[in-house]
A = this chain, B = another copy of it.
Amino acid sequence: MIILGLDPSLSCTGWGVIRSEGSRIAHIANGQIKTVAKAPMVERLHQLHEAVSAVITAHAPDRAACEEVFVNKNPQSTLKLAQARGAVLAGCGAKGLIVSEHAARLVKKAVVGTGGADKAQVQAMLKVLLPGADIAGADAADALAVAIADAHLSKQF
């Protein structure tokens, strides 16, 4: 089973692909899609859509997952994030890929063992769980964490 984890945002969308077989997981690839802040919004959204479609074409995941949206107290930030998310998810839909959503706490719990883990703890566990993976940055790390959580969570059903 190939799982794509996604961490959508307008400026930098993280993605991570893992293989899950029984209780074993292995790193396949990860990366970050950055858009130029000065470019028109529609261009940036199109760029996210195309780049995510290209990742899906390249790695042919069986399923995908992202975190449930954190609704920011700043409505404009929520809006930007949700628009980016819409472009990314439409890119998944274009490839016939269904995306599961997991609560941030469940992602941390699946990776670290506790829902209250901080980013440093998550990143430290990623080094243990995906030895040798060269992680592109914090957003790619978050995306890999979601993919790992999806591998764990889906087994519960």
Contacts and interface: CB of A to CB of B under 8 A. Distances in A.
B90 A48 contact: yes
Counting contact residues on chain A (CB < 8 A from B), the size range is 20 to 34
Interface string A41-69: 11111111110000000000000000001
Chain copies in complex: 2
Q: Is the interface of A mostly helix, strand, loop or mixed?
A: helix
Given A69-B79, A79-B78, A47 B86 contact: no
A98 B39 CA distance: 11
A82 interface: yes
27 contacts: A40-B93, A41-B89, A42-B89, A42-B92, A42-B98, A45-B86, A45-B90, A46-B92, A46-B93, A47-B93, A48-B90, A49-B90, A49-B93, A49-B94, A50-B94, A71-B75, A71-B76, A71-B78, A78-B78, A78-B82, A81-B82, A82-B85, A82-B86, A83-B85, A83-B86, A86-B86, A86-B88
Contacts of A91: 90
A42 B93 contact: yes
B82 A71 contact: no
